[in-house]
Chains A and B, each alone.
Chain A
Amino acid sequence: MSVARLVLREIRHRKITFLLSTLAVAAAVACVVAQLSLLHRYDLATEKLIAAKEAETREKMAKLEDDYRKITLGMGFNVLILPKDQNLGDFYAEDFASKMMPEEYATRLAKSHVATINHIMPSLQQKVRWDEQGRSILLMGIRGEVYVQSGKQKPLVNPVPAGSIVLGYELHQPLKLTEGQKVKLMGREFTVSKLNPPRGNKDDITAWINLPEAQEILGKPGLINGILALDCTCDTRDRLSLIRAEIARILPDTQIIEFQSQALARAEARGRAGDEARASIEAEIQNRARMRQTREAFAATLVPLVALGSGVWIALLALGNVRDRSAEIGILRALGLRTSHVLFLFLGRALLAGFLGSLVGFLAGVLAVPPPMLSYQLPFLPVAFLAAPLLAALSAWVPAYWAAQRDPAEILVSE
């Protein structure tokens, strides 16, 4: 016979009150586990949502990047490298540079591994008379891209094959020219390889031919008068000064002007779109954080209230248990049991309710927020296994102490 056995026998005898105490503990533990699980689930949902938004933004930005490449292809390049001695007033008045520089400059620039430019396209451009058709045109000789990175680089402009000609809208449309048709230019025959749509700029009166052929026609062998270049790797908005600085080191005999600033505006718009997407994600994160704080505040109010309610409930049940067992306390004290024995009778009961309640409550808390997240929830079990009996024992302490301090003589006389 031991006091522990006495505790177990008494629990078996008064199952209902023990069950009610256990349920009170279980309710508190379930509330804690469920609330923490809900917060964790919310965090997981937030992570998923933000990851999805980030992926969506990445996808949009990639599409913008591609759109940008296509747009810049249609609009031209955003910097133009000219010979240093070129008078810009003349250049703007004539629409082409009158000064020349060696074609080799384009190759030198590409081989220098210039960091701020991705695409380099040398050209020889001059306003000429297309006597065969009775009009003035801009003749542009191009050789396609001189690759900065490698031959696998995706080109913005394809070279015009020798013997072919690409015509702007105002050249082919009035003349009703078609692709594959033969035309004569400055005494030389070309096959129309492409007819450009209207662009609303000087491209509409431009004819593109192969660079060596243009050099030959214009009597400028090995010479060019411009290098069209596209910057697309420099993140800063003040790209022009960076490009100027870098190219000045490589090609000191040149000057650079901003060309087709609309392309730059588009690039910056792309940057702004990226910024807005990031700001939208940040706003979502902050919104979710605010909602989490609200949920956390609710849990921080609910959990102590439930714990307090459970504690009061356990204390009331323990008090009822002490009152029901007055005669037992009296006789046990008369038989010589000490106050510590009586304390153990009641606290032991509360501790067992706490242990059992922690297990039941943990399971209830896990099942209340399906599906279970055991890797997150399992660490709560040992904490509940320690804290719940402590809560139960603390709640039962006052009634147990009262029982231990009761005068056995008074009980026995009154009974």
Chain B
Amino acid sequence: MILDIRNLSKTYRGPDGPVQALDRVSLAIGAGEFLAVQGASGCGKTTLLLAAGGLLEPTGGEVFVAGQNPYALEPEKRAAFRAAAVGFVFQQFHLIPYLSVLDNVLAPSLAMPRADARQAAVGLIERFGLASRIRHVPSELSTGERQRVALARALLNNPRLILADEPTGNLDPDNAAVVLDHLSAFAAGGGSVLLVTHDASIAARAQQVYKMP
């Protein structure tokens, strides 16, 4: 299994007392699998994604990514593990506004330097049809282009797992289809994808759908 989530629970402290965001969620994704988690807004989808990516320590249960429980690692080692094993794609893209397309795609190499990073980044940019935009900053790109840049960035370190949080939420249907095609292609290439969405039609593009209560 690339991602193995067992009885995952997360409780937040809210102003009116504890809030149960996740309650004993279990799911697993193997290599080459594309899983969509579907649920209404506020059902804990993003919490599940962040916990799966080693960014949000759960209050109960366990997470294993490529056989490693990230929360068993020291914070700095967990960050390094995350850089190597996980790629993130967000609805808001979260591109760095003052960096060019090339530098945004290269950003993961800050955490995990590699000699061929630039070559790999250029390859991804070309693959995502952004070669003509390589020197542009995010404010000069369309929303679809921005999400493709975010996707290329997520793939730079050859992660085993892509975690996508509503990646098509801000895109038109054509651009959404392009992004979903790329995620499917990543899964087809042996990677694993966990996509969270409230949209049933988007979830339908995945091989499996997990519905949040």
Cα–Cα, bound, A10→B106 (Å): 15
Residues in A neighbouring B106, C-beta threshold 8 A: 1
20 contacts between A and B (CB under 8 A): A1-B118, A6-B110, A10-B98, A12-B98, A328-B97, A330-B94, A331-B88, A334-B53, A334-B55, A334-B82, A335-B83, A335-B111, A336-B108, A337-B83, A337-B110, A338-B111, A408-B55, A413-B47, A413-B50, A415-B92
B46 at the interface (CB under 8 A from A): yes
A336 and B98 form a contact (CB under 8 A): no
B97 and A332 form a contact (CB under 8 A): no
Query: CB within 8 A of B99: which of A2, A6, A412, A413?
Result: A6
Nearest to A3 among chain B residues (CB) is B110
Cα–Cα, bound, A415→B99 (Å): 19
Nearest to A13 among chain B residues (CB) is B98
Query: CB within 8 A of B96: which of A331, A341, A415?
Result: A331
Q: Mark A1-27, 1 if CB is under 8 A from B, else 0.
A: 111011001101110000000000000
B79 at the interface (CB under 8 A from A): yes
Query: CB within 8 A of B88: which of A1, A12, A334, A415?
Result: A334
Query: CB within 8 A of B80: which of A13, A336, A408, A415?
Result: A336
B96 and A328 form a contact (CB under 8 A): yes
Interface set, chain B 73-87, CB cutoff 8 A to A: 75-76, 79-84
Interface set, chain A 154-206, CB cutoff 8 A to B: none
A38 at the interface (CB under 8 A from B): no
B interface, CB within 8 angstroms of A: 46-47, 50, 53, 55-56, 75-76, 79-84, 88, 90, 92, 94, 96-99, 103, 106-112, 117-118, 153
Residues in A neighbouring B118, C-beta threshold 8 A: 1
A336 and B111 form a contact (CB under 8 A): yes
Residues in B neighbouring A386, C-beta threshold 8 A: none
Residues in A neighbouring B117, C-beta threshold 8 A: 1
Sorted nearest first, the 8 A-B pairs with minimum C-beta distance are: A336-B83, A13-B98, A336-B111, A1-B106, A409-B56, A331-B94, A409-B55, A409-B50
A270 at the interface (CB under 8 A from B): no
Cα–Cα, bound, A328→B96 (Å): 6
Q: A2-B110, A412-B50 are in contact. Are A333 and B79 (CB under 8 A)?
A: yes
Nearest to A410 among chain B residues (CB) is B56
Cα–Cα, bound, A413→B196 (Å): 14
Interface-centre pick from B90, B92, B110, B153 (highest chain A CB count, 10 A): B110
Grouping DSSP codes into helix (H, G, I), strand (E, B) and loop, the B interface class, with mixed when no group exceeds half, is helix
A339 and B76 form a contact (CB under 8 A): yes
Residues in B neighbouring A408, C-beta threshold 8 A: 55
A335 and B99 form a contact (CB under 8 A): no
Cα–Cα, bound, A334→B86 (Å): 9
A335 and B98 form a contact (CB under 8 A): no
A367 to chain B, nearest CB (A): 34
Cα–Cα, bound, A330→B82 (Å): 13
Cα–Cα, bound, A105→B97 (Å): 110
Cα–Cα, bound, A331→B47 (Å): 16
Residues in A neighbouring B81, C-beta threshold 8 A: 336
B100 to chain A, nearest CB (A): 9
Cα–Cα, bound, A413→B12 (Å): 13
Cα–Cα, bound, A331→B82 (Å): 12
Interface-centre pick from A332, A334, A408 (highest chain B CB count, 10 A): A334
Residues in A neighbouring B90, C-beta threshold 8 A: 331, 412
Given contacts A334-B82, A336-B82, could you give 15 more A-B pairs where the C-beta distance is less than 8 Å? A1-B103, A1-B110, A1-B117, A2-B110, A6-B96, A6-B110, A328-B96, A328-B97, A332-B110, A335-B83, A335-B107, A335-B110, A341-B111, A412-B55, A413-B50
A61 at the interface (CB under 8 A from B): no
Interface set, chain A 4-57, CB cutoff 8 A to B: 5-6, 9-10, 12-14
